[in-house]
């Protein structure tokens, strides 16, 4: 920082913290301070595209440099840090969606590691100084397992919230204001969680709830997906009525303002929704049925198109997002009178993200003081998110709104403001209340109303700021991207000439994206002296269809090569130690980790979290949503056999640690068990950690903590050449410990 000196702010911050007896009030105060610091810092840059900064190795001032001689000299990886695994695991709340009630107050869904991952609906307080209130009774948890990844688990209309309960997967109706009245079940009890619901909306015309239903009663692997309506006025629970059926998958059922038309998205095997999908509109009859329907987009066989997020404007016009023209997900509009589609605003940027979970909401309609509709939207370009306002009627121009977030997801609007879910290099996953001026052209207020880690600011002097790097791949003329975090701790330095160990992360999906935002699990490592790289290999989203499709038929090749190319680029740049290169990843990233260790000799050790070892076995066992995914990414049985790490154990020579949830339905536990036994039999150092009650991704604080600690200690013992400062009891490593 330049205008705001962190050396003055942080001691004042610590003093202020002790004066706040109400911890929640202090959390809100600290979040606002982060936003304020980020805003002031950002204003010093040349445009709204600049990233908010904190004191790091990249921007320490002369006074900080002058204190270098006072630093403790210790090997990389051995530094002490206040960012403990307890801090990280306790700050790992997840945001599961936002909505606004009839009073304009925010409702959000948060999952809590300290409650074994239970997800709870929380309501924004009426007054800023008051506490948020839990809406969900303690015996309930709000989560759907539709398509395994869930999302879209609740919907709010006025004073009513309708939600999916995790244990039985039934839908319930609950009054927000009368919390002493228990939730009322809306869907039948089938004797177990075999039917799931998601992505619902209220249809006031017929007093019903319309949503996507996944029915696994006949087959858990090949479920039946439909769009159904659920009566709200009946005293007795009734069987839902099917409105739309026949396709493999559905999403985004959305009604126009008069509930005369319903739009939705559908797609079929072998496509994933980001490959090819279709937009349909159905016309509602007087008895509530869809009496005719037409395909609006996605039906031209000569046009490869992925459609998402249909939404009706207050005037009854249908908008949606498609990558039909330039290969990027851009806003479009359907002109019903001419039955044609026209772009609203074209840009080589992504206005949505891949449909891994239901409930994506990247844009909203807002009313200006001139009573015309504008579109508030977020989009992603070259590793950064932007917030903008589009005037579709007058000029289809975009006005940029300058806020501290550099990464954004969902937007929720009210009459007076926007609620934006986002993050930055100094702000963890959060929701901000963004107030605009009368012209809807500038931000006049920005306040954090929810944070996944309200206490994170007190560790900001330990944060390593990511650098977006572009590096050459093995394909001439093709580059890939990554975020590089150098090791940083304000009280330590390494010996002159020493290079840090590197942990390179391969993200999941693989159709997903690494994002350069505050992640305390990364800072846990960098503040101890590790370098960290988060790679967006070919196949990642955020860079358009052409980049995304680099991975088609090439999974296990392009991702592996790009991860190795990134490590080589950092090694050649003198940023890391070539003898201490480690790789990690979860799910699809776990597969890339195992494949890299099997087919390359770049990395000296690896960590796989619920990763894929046997592609053919996964094909036979995985759930419906991804049952053709591997065919798209790899090919047939022959290619799957050739690229499965389990079939090439003879090539393993680097130590590996495996972490697996025993209730995982996406990547079943036998994947980890098979690779563990095979590597153990070859004599390579290996360890397997299995968690009871965990599914795909770890939600319990104690398991998040254990994974973080044991991964670090494993690397330190096997290839680190240093002793960690933390008091951690290591697990037994086969073929290494006596």
Closest CA to 264 of 209, 215, 223, 226: 226
Give the pairing of strands 241-244 and 224-231. Answer: antiparallel
Q: Mean pLDDT, to the nearest integer, of 675-696?
A: 93
Note the pLDDT tens digit of each residue in 507-531: 999 999 999 999 999 999 999 999 9
Answer whether residue 212 shows pLDDT above 80.
yes
Contact 125, 108 (CB under 8 A): no
The percent of residues above 70 in pLDDT, for the chain, comes to 90
Note the pLDDT tens digit of each residue in 617-639: 888 888 899 999 999 999 999 99
Find tokens 């739009």 and name the residue.
263
Cα–Cα distance, 392 to 439 (Å, whole number)? 15
The percent of residues above 90 in pLDDT, for the chain, comes to 79
Cα–Cα distance, 162 to 186 (Å, whole number)? 9
Q: What does the pLDDT read at residue 234?
A: 82
Residues with Cβ within 8 Å of 318's Cβ and at least 6 positions away in sequence, in order, are 256, 261, 263, 281, 296, 310, 311, 312, 333, 334, 336
Contact 97, 108 (CB under 8 A): yes
Banded model confidence at residue 265, pLDDT cuts 50, 70, 90: very high
Contact 730, 615 (CB under 8 A): no
Cα–Cα distance, 720 to 605 (Å, whole number)? 10
Q: Mean pLDDT, to the nearest integer, of 729-734?
A: 96
Answer whether residue 4 shows pLDDT above 80.
no
Q: Mean pLDDT, to the nearest integer, of 450-464?
A: 92
Answer whether residue 19 shows pLDDT above 60.
no
Per mean pLDDT, which range of 37-46, 476-485, 494-503, 542-551 is the poorest? Answer: 37-46
Note the pLDDT tens digit of each residue in 373-423: 799 999 999 999 999 999 876 667 899 999 999 999 999 999 889 999 999
Closest CA to 500 of 74, 70, 184, 213: 74
Average pLDDT, the chain: 89
Contact 361, 412 (CB under 8 A): yes
Q: What does the pLDDT read at residue 20?
A: 34
- The three-state secondary structure class of 707 is helix
The pTM of the full predicted model, rounded to 2 decimals, is: 0.88
Side-by-side strand order, sheet with 278-284: 249-255, 261-267, 278-284, 290-297
Banded model confidence at residue 12, pLDDT cuts 50, 70, 90: very low
The residue among 22 and 670 whose pLDDT is bigger is 670
């Amino acid at each position: 920082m330049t205008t705001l000196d962190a050396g003055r702010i942080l001691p004042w911050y610590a003093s202020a913290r002790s004066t706040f007896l109400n911890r929640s009030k202090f959390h809100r105060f600290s979040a606002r301070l982060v936003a304020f610091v980020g805003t002031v810092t950002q204003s010093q840059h040349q445009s709204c595209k600049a990233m908010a900064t904190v004191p790091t190795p990249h921007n320490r001032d002369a006074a900080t440099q002058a204190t270098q001689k006072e630093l403790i000299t210790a090997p990389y990886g051995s530094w002490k840090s206040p960012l403990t695994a307890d801090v990280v695991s306790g700050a790992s709340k997840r945001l599961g969606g936002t909505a606004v009630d009839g009073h304009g107050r925010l409702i959000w869904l948060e999952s809590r590691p300290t409650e074994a991952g239970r997800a709870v609906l929380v309501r924004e307080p009426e007054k800023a100084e008051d506490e948020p209130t839990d809406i969900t009774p303690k015996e309930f948890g709000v989560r759907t397992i539709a398509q395994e990844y869930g999302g879209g688990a609740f919907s709010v209309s006025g004073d009513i919230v309708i939600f999916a309960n995790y244990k039985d997967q039934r839908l319930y109706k609950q009054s927000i204001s009368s919390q002493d009245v228990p939730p009322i079940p809306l869907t039948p009890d089938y004797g177990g969680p075999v039917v799931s619901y998601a992505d619902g909306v209220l249809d006031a015309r017929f007093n019903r709830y319309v949503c996507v239903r996944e029915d696994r009663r006949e087959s858990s692997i090949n479920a039946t997906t439909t769009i159904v309506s659920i009566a709200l006025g009946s005293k007795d629970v009734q069987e839902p009525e099917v409105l739309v059926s026949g396709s493999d998958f559905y999403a985004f059922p959305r009604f126009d303002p008069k509930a005369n038309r319903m739009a939705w998205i559908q797609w079929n095997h072998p496509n994933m929704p980001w490959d090819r999908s279709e937009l349909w509109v159905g016309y509602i009859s007087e008895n509530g049925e869809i009496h005719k329907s037409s395909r609006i987009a996605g039906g031209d066989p000569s046009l490869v198109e992925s459609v998402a997020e249909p939404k009706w404007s207050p005037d009854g016009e249908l908008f949606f997002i498609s990558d039909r023209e330039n290969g990027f997900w851009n806003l479009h509009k359907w002109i019903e009178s001419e039955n044609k589609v026209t772009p609203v605003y074209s840009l080589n940027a992504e206005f949505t993200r891949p449909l891994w979970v239901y409930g994506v909401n990247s844009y909203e309609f807002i009313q200006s003081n001139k009573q015309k509709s504008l579109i508030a939207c977020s989009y992603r370009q070259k590793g950064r998110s932007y917030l903008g306002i589009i005037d579709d009627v007058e000029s289809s121009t975009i006005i940029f709104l300058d806020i501290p977030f550099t990464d954004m997801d969902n937007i929720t609007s009210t009459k007076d403001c926007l609620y934006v879910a986002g993050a930055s290099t100094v702000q963890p996953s959060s929701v901000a209340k963004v107030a605009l001026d009368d012209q809807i052209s500038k931000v006049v207020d920005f306040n954090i109303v929810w944070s996944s880690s309200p206490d994170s600011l007190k560790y900001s002097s330990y944060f390593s700021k990511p650098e977006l790097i572009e590096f050459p791949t093995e394909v001439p003329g093709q580059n890939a991207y990554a975020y590089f975090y150098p090791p940083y701790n304000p009280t330590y330095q390494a010996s002159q000439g020493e290079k840090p160990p590197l942990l390179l992360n391969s993200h999941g999906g693989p159709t997903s994206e690494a994002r350069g935002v505050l992640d305390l699990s990364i800072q846990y490592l960098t503040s101890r002296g590790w370098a960290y790289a988060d790679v967006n290999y070919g196949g990642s989203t955020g860079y358009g269809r052409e980049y995304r499709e680099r991975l088609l038929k090439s999974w296990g090749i392009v991702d592996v090569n790009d991860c190795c190319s990134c490590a080589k680029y950092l090694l050649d740049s003198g940023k890391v130690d070539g003898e201490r290169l480690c790789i990690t990843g979860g799910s699809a990233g776990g597969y890339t980790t195992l494949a890299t260790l099997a087919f390359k000799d770049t990395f000296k050790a690896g960590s796989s979290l619920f990763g894929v070892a046997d592609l053919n076995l996964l094909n036979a066992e995985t759930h419906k949503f991804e049952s053709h995914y591997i065919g798209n990414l790899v090919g047939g049985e022959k290619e799957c056999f050739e690229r499965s790490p389990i079939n090439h154990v003879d090539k393993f020579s680097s130590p590996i640690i495996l972490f697996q949830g025993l209730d995982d339905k996406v990547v079943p536990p036998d994947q980890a068990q098979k690779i563990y036994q095979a590597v153990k039999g070859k004599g390579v150092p290996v360890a397997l950690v299995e968690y009871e009650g965990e599914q795909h991704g770890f939600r319990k604080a104690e398991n998040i903590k254990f994974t973080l600690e044991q991964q670090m200690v494993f690397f330190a013992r096997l290839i680190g050449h240093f002793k960690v400062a933390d008091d951690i009891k290591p697990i037994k490593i086969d073929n290494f410990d006596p």
